Structure 1
Amino acid sequence: MTGLEARVRRGLWVGKIPMGYDKVIVGKEVILKPNKTGKLVRLAFQLKAEQGLSNTDILKRLKAQGLILYNQTLTKLFRNPFYCGLISHGLLEDGEVVEGQHEPLITRQMFLKVNGLQAQNAHGYTQIKEDEELPLRHHIKCGSCRKPLTGYEMKKKQIHYYKCNTIGCKLNRNASKLHNLYEGFLAELEVDATYLPKLSEIMEETYYKLTEESRIEEKRLQTQHTELKKKLDTLERRYAFGEIEKELFVKFSSEIKAELVEIERNLEKCAPALSNPKSFIENGLNTAVTISSSWSKKNVQGRKQLQAMMFPDGVYYDREMEGYRTTRVNGFYALSKEIERFLEAKEKGKSDQNDHFSLPVARRGIEPLLPE
């Protein structure tokens, strides 16, 4: 699975932004939010669903509101499930859709009504229902050929299976069995609640050590930025009062502005500081106590989000060992488990009392967690 496909499967849009949305940066993620045009797109759906207006009449109404569209464009808008919170993308299989993390403009009921698709439809809704029974579809990859597993239902017995579609591979496993194995795989990353106070203390200390360098650099850049802004203000004031020639003003102001742009770019690269690291870490550790049971209790979208958070690159099913392996685990939970093992060994007298965690190992440990 490519990085772009992984983003799409997490519900993040990739590519040209659909009409009616703008990019908004939240933390390290870029999300899509409805804009003024989005309100008119919503109006178009409402006019079609609630008043049954023709496309021609709807186009006239939109033009009166300042939005000029062609009939073909309007038809494409009506057929795009993105507007009801779903994503259908070229990186996904034909007919497949996933839950988007963007704010929908309309309800799914309205989308279905506009398209006359109250039952099954060409945009994959039957596939969504199937995902309720097969949440690991595409998240699991075949350990032999490394291709994502798909799934199906044996109608007569109402039993679901995951399978590899690679010719000659023949991997085919009962979904319930793979779900139980997955819960066990998640349980391997769970921590004992009795270690939470010490875990929280060590991870908070680790966080501050990891971000100290970034905080110092950010402070230095902000100081430079402030000083350059003052120089630019002084230069503009002197030019306004005729103290310097235009040629000199343009030359030096251009240089200062270029420096400001470069500093602002570097500031964006600095790791954003958490407003409350202690609370962030405690919440993450509380989740780490019951990862497997949390997964089993969530709905399909909740499961997929947790899966993507825990194993960003997915997992591989090894048919010989009848278990999972992965190339990448969420750093926060990997580190918390590593520290727990250290504390356990220390408690049993199997660890040097002077042992501590090196920053190179811990450096990958504090990364964004998924909100509950």
Structure 2
Amino acid sequence: MYCRVSSLKQTIDGSGLDSQEHRCRRYAEQHGYVVEKVFTDDVSGGGDFLKRKGMVALLEYLRRRRTTDYVVIFDDLKRFARDTLFHLQLRAQMDRYNARIECLNFRFEDTPEGKFVEIIHAAQGQLEREQNGRQTVQKMCARLEQGYFVFHAPIGYRYEKVGHHGKLLVLNEPYASVIKEALEGFASGRFQTQAEMRRYLEGCECIPKNAKGQIAKKRTADLLKHPAYAGYVEHERWGISFRKGQHEPLISLETYRKNQERLNGKPLVPTRKDLNKEFPLRGFVVCGDCGHPYTASFTKGKTKYHPYYVCQQRRCDSYGKSIRRADLEGAFETVLKHMTPSKEVFALAMAMLKDQWNKREEIQSTQEKEHQKTLAEIEQKIEKVIDMMIDANSDIVRQNLTKRLAQLEKEKLITEGQINATAQPLRSLESIARTSLDFLANPRKLWESERLEDKRAVLKLAFAEPWAYHRNEGARTPNFSLPFKALDEISPPQNEVVPPVRLELTLPKEPDFESG
């Protein structure tokens, strides 16, 4: 016997398979047949029958016992196949294995008239399937046009019935917070490459991964490109233009726009794959002789393994000469310790920053006026395109104008999002600068974190270029990033640590140390 329902949900929530099997068993009893085996599927009957595991198992069962005359019982002809071509191919396969087909609601006849009727019934099944598919797409399009997301919920969301909305995307924690941090981190430059963002997600236990504990490259790009996270919906293939959705956004439209610009811009050098917690300075610290990044590994001793950094440039004087990890990383921590600024210099820098921060209100007001001007220009273009569509006599011209109109509508939404962002009142400098000040006051504190991402952040934010270390002469003078240079001096070790005061600096573009 063969029983099939169209989806796994019908198998779990319904009794379709059990009902079919019950009717088929009664049919077998009435005709004196002994049921030897039951095969089931929970997939659609359209398309290639070889993609149905239950059908493949049935055909293999018949192939191995082709000398035995079997009768294969179906509850309904539609359970056999809902595609005319594959119906005929499956029939031929059954005949090849000496199996006779019997159906509860259709009688197979090996006559010209019987075959004709059979083909008509198979074609009718295909017609119904395609009509159902069309109706489903039409309903989904209607929901999309109203701003409702209709596909599988993106990670960070789940569906929930909400009042008059029906099924609506709602935030799903803790996934939502993790995805939000990843998307905003990529937009801000915290994650310089998709590889860094992917590594962050792989370090979060709640995010689903493959059997190797990894996240596919395409999946990272899909997350960044997904407009649903910004609270918008779109489906170009169905003619649904970019529009505001009914669900709560995870990130701002401006953050989404920045991510698209980064994706479409010049790709950065991918993050090194050999970074690990055992050697956080790998790729950043360079040889004092040749300037190439040190590699790192463990060397086996008599009783244990010893960690070393080593230069592998053959023409270098330090080639193959190992440096103990404790010596090199100890010297680096000394550099971090000396980076604490004095109280006087820090207070002066704070006063200067507050003055610059207050001037941002003027800049924000200017930006809002520019966005308003851009919005007015876009609206004028939209009106012109609509007038041209009304006067157009060619279908090709109308199609091109429709595409242009959709693009202008998308630009309008993005500009409105920028206006909303600039219209928000600025928070005070003190209210948003706790993290920045903590780092500037004591970068060593972040370095002592157990997370590799935090250690790599110190290297990016505190240094303008890789740090050189010579195996005999020790550490070379580091080139610090602009925020630390702006403090005018680096306090000596005996100076007191600056007490927590809130501050945030605009940092320069982060250098890429992973390319070494």
TM-score where L is the length of structure 2: 0.35
TM-score where L is the length of structure 1: 0.47
| Higher Cα radius of gyration | 2
